[in-house]
Amino acid sequence: MSDPFAFSLITTSGDARLGEIATPRGAIRTPAFMPVGTAGTVKALYPDQVKAAGADIVLGNTYHLMLRPGAERVARLGGLHKFMRWDGPILTDSGGFQVMSLKGLRKLTEDGVTFQSHIDGSTHTMSPERSIEIQCLLGADIQMQLDECIELPATQERATAAMELSLRWAERCKRAFERFGKPGQALFGIVQGATDLELRRRSAQELAGMNFDGYAVGGLAVGEGQDAMLATLDGTLAHLPSSKPRYLMGVGTPVDIIEAVARGIDMFDCVMPTRSGRHGQAFTWGGKVNLKNARHAEDTAPLDANSMCPAARDYSRAYLHHLMKSGEYLGPMLLSWANTAFYQDLMAAIRQAIAENRYADFVSEHRAALSGNEAV
RNA sequence: GCCGCUGUAGCUCAGUUGGUUAGAGCACCAGAUUGUGGAUCUGGGGGUCCCCCGUUCAAGCCGGGGCAGCGGUA
C-alpha cells in the first residue's frame, strides 16, 4: 500500500514550486495558504465559507484546544474534523508559538513547557510527547513538533540554545509520533536558529536527517524585518530536501508570501487575514484598505468588484465602514470572509503563474501594489 | 418667587493654598498588527474653562452681577 501522505512537485518557475500534497482527507494545492483556526474555528467564518474561498486545509492549535475544550473531550466527540465540521485536512500547531507569545505565563525546561492558562490561571505542562499525543487525539492530519520559538533580535547564545533544544524535542516528537500517529498522518520538523545562517544550516540538516514528512521554517516574522527574513530563508531552504513540503510558519503579508514562494516555500499560515479583518483592515490587489477610515463613509464602491467573494463584491465600502464603526458582528464577519477569499485568490494566482512559468513577472507585476496601502 | 447644587474638549468629568503651554476616559482622525489571549500598542486634532465687571504681579479657582440646567419648596 502506498503512503497516503505524499508530496509531489508538479513544476517550478525559478525556485518557486507548484505542487500537491495528497492526504487521506483530500489534496492540498501548493503553494498553499492555510487559514488559522486556533480554537477550532476560523474566527467569524463558517467552514463552508473557508472551503468555498478555496482553502484546502486549516490550522488548529494544540495549546488552545487542550485548555478548552480539552484534547480527550474532542477525541470523545469524534475528533476535531467532525467537531468543527471541517472534512478537509487539518494542521495543528504544537504549542511552540505559545512558548514565545505567553512568555510571562510559562516556564521552560528540558522536559517541556509549563503554561499558566490564560483562561483561568491553572497550570498545565506540555512535553514534546504530550504535544504529539494531543495532536493525535485531535486527529490532525499534519502535526508539528514542539519547538522553542524566540523573539528577535536574540543573542547568539539564546538562539543556539533554542535551536538545539528544538532539535532534541524534534527527536522526541518523532518517537512519540511513531507511537501515537496513524497511517496517513504526517509530522513536520521545525527549523530554528534566528537569523544566523550557520544555526539555520545545522538545524535544517539535522532535521533532514531525521526524515520528517515535511519541514517548517519557524521563528521568522517575529521582529527581524522582511530583508532579514528573506535572507534567512535563502540560507535555510538550500539545506532542506526538495522532495518534501516546506512550510513558513506564521507568515504573512501578501508580499511576504510572494517573496517566500519565489524562494521555494510551499505552505503558509497567518492570522493576518482574519485578525486584520476583525479590526477593519481589508486586503486587495490594490493594497491594504482600512475600512474604518472616514474616507469610506459614503463610498458606494465595493472592496473589489471583480472578486468572486460576495463580501468583497456585493457590499459597499460605506456599509462596511458603518459596520466597523458601529461594532456590529457582521463587519468582522464580512471582512474576515473577504480577506480569506483574497488570500486564496492570491495563492491561486501564484500557482497559475508558476504553472505558466512566469512567476518572476508575476512578482514584479504585483509587488508594489500589494506592499502598501491602497492608493487614494 | 425663594432655597440649594451645577456650568471646564463632541460626551462624562478631574483640576491642590490663585502660579509656566488647563488634563483624563470615551468619542473623533490616523498608523501598527505575521505558527490569534476576539487582544493590544503608537501617534494626532480638538478649549470664549457659561457671560460681564471687579480684586490681584497673576483668576478655571476669589468677590459682585447676569444667564442656563437640575433638584427642593409654598
A332 CB-to-strand B distance under 7 Å:
yes
- Give the dihedral of Cα atoms A362, A226, A208, A355; nearest 10 deg: -10
Residue A116, CB, less than 7 Å from strand B?
Answer: no
Grid look-up 488570500 returns A343
Cβ of A94 near strand B (under 7 Å)? The reply is yes
Looking up cell 512550510 gives: A247
What's the complex ipTM?
0.92
pLDDT at position A364 is: 97
* Overall residue count recorded for chain A in this entry: 376
Residue A1: per-residue pLDDT: 45
Name residue, grid cell 464602491. Answer: A301
Q: Which nucleotides of B are covered by protein (CB under 7 A)?
A: 28-40
Marked catalytic residue, from A56, A141, A213, A269: A269
- Exposure on the CB side of residue A15, measured as CA atoms within 13 A: 14
The pLDDT > 70 percentage for chain A reads: 99
**pLDDT score of A68 more than 70:** yes
Q: Is the pLDDT of residue A145 over 50?
A: yes
- DSSP letter at A174 equals H
- Residue A315 in contact with residue A302, Cβ under 8 Å? yes
CA distance A166 to A131: 13
The pLDDT tens digits of the residues spanning A313-335 come to 999 999 999 999 999 999 999 99
Q: What is the pLDDT of residue A188?
A: 98
> Residue A319's CB: how many other CB atoms inside 10 A?
19
pLDDT tens digits, one per residue of A70-124: 999 999 999 999 999 999 999 999 999 988 888 888 899 999 999 888 888 889 9
Distance in Å from B2's C1' to A179's CA comes to 91
Give backbone dihedrals phi and psi of A310, rounded to 5 degrees, phi first: -55, -35
As a whole number, the mean pLDDT across chain A is 96
Nearest nt to the A275 alpha carbon by C1': B36
Write out pLDDT tens, residues A206-229.
999 999 999 999 999 998 999 999
Interacting residues of A154 by C-beta distance below 8 A, sequence separation 6+: A162, A194
Residue A347 vs residue A376, higher pLDDT: A347
Tell me the CA–C1' distance in angstroms for A314 and B28.
28
The pLDDT value recorded for residue A3 is 57
Q: What's the CA A326/C1' B50 distance, rounded, in angstroms?
A: 33
pLDDT value of position A105: 84
Q: Using an 8 Å Cβ cutoff, are A84 and A50 in contact? A: no
pLDDT by residue (tens digit) across A332-348? Answer: 999 999 999 999 999 99
Asked if A71 and A134 touch (Cβ cutoff 8 Å), the reply is: yes
> Could you check: is the Cβ of residue A331 within 7 Å of any atom of nucleic acid strand B?
no
Bridge partners (DSSP) of residue A103 are none
% chain A with pLDDT above 90: 92
Separation of CA A364 and C1' B15 in angstroms?
Answer: 58
- Span CA (A56) to C1' (B56), Å: 79
| Cβ A251 to strand B below 7 Å | yes
Q: Inform me whether the pLDDT recorded for A354 exceeds 60.
A: yes
Active site residue A269: yes
Task: Inform me whether the pLDDT recorded for A2 exceeds 60.
Answer: no
pLDDT one-digit tens code per residue, A267-312 = 999 999 999 999 999 999 999 999 999 999 999 999 999 999 999 9
CB A231 within 8 A of CB A239: no
User: Is A314 in the active site?
Assistant: no
A176: its cell numbers: 512519540
Name the helix (H) or strand (E) containing A60: strand A58-61
Grid cell for residue A36: 488559522
Indicate if CB(A248) is under 7 A from strand B. Answer: no
Nearest to A190 by CA among A134, A137, A131: A131
Looking at A56, A93, A141, A213, which residue is catalytic? A93
H helices within chain A, ranges in order?
47-53, 62-67, 71-76, 80-84, 96-101, 128-138, 156-180, 197-210, 226-237, 254-262, 272-278, 310-313, 317-326, 330-355, 359-371
pLDDT interval class at A179 (50, 70, 90): very high
- What is the full DSSP assignment across A242-270? TTS-EEETT---HHHHHHHHHTT--EEEE
Strand-strand pairing, A186-191 and A113-116: unpaired
Let me know: does A43 contact A49? Beta carbons within 8 Å. Answer: no
Distance CA A40, CA A138 (A): 10
Whole-number pLDDT of residue A104: 80
